[in-house]
């Protein structure tokens, strides 16, 4: 072997670790098929929640990273209707730290656009519940009066089985009643879940029998087993709240001042199992994606053609 060939071989051996790192970084920067599929649904979810009036300019939905359970993906601080693939961020569940733009790995850490202040709602629910894969926070108008009145929601229809049929209704998270070790007197009292301690307090309000927590003066949080499941739960929580409010009003004028009883615990549990199965979730999702695809406002740039 010539001296030149020996030098080239030596240079290659010396550079091999560097080459390996570069190739690995380039491979890692390409989102996997799992992440891309989740992101398609996540963009649709943002648009659907706006179309269905669950969220407005505010509110957010996230998904646990299907390739790394210690991370989650959600948009940076932008109105849900306006999200595209370039607004999605991958976060560490630990302290809700931004890692990178999910579909642009050259934008990392401090260079990532500002995230939602309340991303700690998502991080701490994921931390508390390993089986949760999607989280929604919304300021849904139909729901807010119930927490204001201290009245929990109860499932009033089969499609809202996840709301539950607890005796006192869904749990209510009251920011104003937090202890000073969670919310010090000198902290900002603006109802926002802006740190892990507040996120932990909210996550700890969830109870078995309901997938919904109301937030006094603020809205609600929902935990789900998938993006589609979480959106389904959010929409039908809104619908059920409307029915419950109307039932309370009508019952107040009825003989004996009756109130709407809602579903029994057995009915709510069985209805959740039936209505949140893949088939019915798929039917609802097909309708909702078809509806948002007809609206110029919404752009899912990860889908080349409308859903069927």
Residue 279 CA to residue 262 CA, distance in Å, equals: 25
- Between helices 119-128 and 196-203, what is the axis angle to 10°? 50
Is 118 a residue of the active site?
Answer: yes
The Cβ of residue 125 has, within 10 Å, a number of other Cβ atoms equal to 28
User: Residue 171 corresponds to which tokens in the numbers above?
Assistant: 């749990």
Residue 305 CA to residue 307 CA, distance in Å, equals: 7
Tell me phi and psi for residue 244, to 5 degrees. -65, -40
Residue 195 CA to residue 139 CA, distance in Å, equals: 19
Distances (CA, A) of 63 to 11, 85, 138, 224, 233: 45, 14, 15, 9, 15
Rg value, the chain, Cα: 23
Q: Are 61 and 80 in contact (CB under 8 A)?
A: yes
**Scanning the structure block, which residue is given the tokens 């088939």?**
279
- Between helices 33-51 and 278-293, what is the axis angle to 10°? 70
Catalytic residue among 30, 118, 276, 299: 118
Three-point CA angle 126, 152, 179, nearest 5°: 60
Where residue 154 falls (left for φ over 0; alpha for ψ -120 to 50; beta otherwise) is: beta
Distances (CA, A) of 234 to 94, 126, 194: 26, 17, 22
User: Residue 127 corresponds to which tokens in the numbers above?
Assistant: 């931390």
Active-site residues, by number, are: 118
């Amino acid at each position: 072997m010539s001296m030149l060939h020996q030098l080239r071989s030596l240079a290659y051996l010396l550079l091999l670790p560097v080459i390996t790192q570069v190739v690995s970084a380039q491979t890692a920067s390409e989102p996997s098929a799992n992440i891309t599929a989740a992101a398609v649904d996540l963009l649709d979810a943002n648009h659907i929640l706006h179309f269905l009036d669950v969220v407005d300019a505010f509110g957010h939905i996230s998904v646990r990273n299907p390739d790394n359970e210690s991370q989650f993906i959600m948009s940076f601080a932008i109105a849900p209707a306006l999200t595209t693939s370039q607004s999605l961020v991958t976060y560490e569940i630990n302290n809700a730290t931004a890692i990178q733009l999910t579909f642009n790995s050259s934008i990392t850490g401090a260079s990532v656009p500002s995230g939602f202040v309340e991303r700690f709602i998502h991080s701490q629910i994921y931390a508390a519940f390993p089986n949760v894969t999607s989280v929604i926070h919304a300021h849904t108008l139909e729901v807010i009066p119930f927490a204001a009145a201290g009245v929990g929601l109860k499932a009033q229809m089969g499609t809202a089985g996840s709301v539950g049929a607890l005796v006192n209704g869904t749990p209510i998270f009251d920011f104003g009643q937090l202890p000073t070790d969670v919310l010090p007197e000198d902290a900002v009292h603006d109802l926002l879940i802006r740190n892990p301690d507040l996120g932990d307090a909210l996550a700890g309000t969830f109870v078995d029998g309901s997938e919904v927590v109301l937030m006094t003066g603020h809205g609600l949080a929902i935990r789900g087993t998938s993006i589609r499941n979480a959106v389904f739960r959010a929409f039908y929580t809104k619908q059920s709240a409307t029915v419950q409010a109307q039932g309370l009003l009508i019952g107040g004028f009825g003989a004996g001042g009756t109130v709407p009883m809602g579903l029994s615990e057995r009915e709510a549990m069985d209805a959740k199992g039936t209505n949140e199965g893949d088939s019915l979730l798929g039917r609802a999702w097909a309708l909702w994606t078809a509806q948002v695809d007809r609206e110029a406002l919404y752009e899912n740039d990860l889908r080349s053609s409308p859903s069927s």
